[in-house]
Structure 1
């Protein structure tokens, strides 16, 4: 069986943890930051784990 290719767009967005979960960044931190409060910007900087139902297609995109 041939080797699977990694989807590079997914590799830049998600990071795999040791337990097999995936980490992602929050949205809405790319622009229009002047009107957002410092608390909101700080919370948007945090990473969080991907939901269980969304991790299966990501696992197919990041085989290695």
Structure 2
């Protein structure tokens, strides 16, 4: 059986914790920051886990991580 390919773009954007949770960064943090409030930018700094309903999209794109 041949090797399964890992989606490199997804492997750079997400990482897995010891409890098998995928962690992601928030969007809208890279540009147009002048018009965003400081409170909103502080919230965007935090990392969040991927929703459990979306984990099925990652299992075949990251075959060796789970």
Number of residues of Structure 1 aligned to a counterpart in Structure 2: 64
Could you state the TM-score of these two structures normalised by the residue count of structure 2?
A: 0.87
Could you state the TM-score of these two structures normalised by the residue count of structure 1?
A: 0.90
Q: Name the SS for the 1:24 alignment partner.
A: strand
Aligned-residue offset at 1:20: 1.4
Aligned-residue offset at 1:59: 2.0
4+ residue segments displaced more than 6 Å? none
The reply to whether residue 62 of structure 1 matches residue 62 of structure 2 is: yes
* Root-mean-square deviation over aligned CA pairs: 1.0
The reply to whether residue 50 of structure 1 matches residue 53 of structure 2 is: no
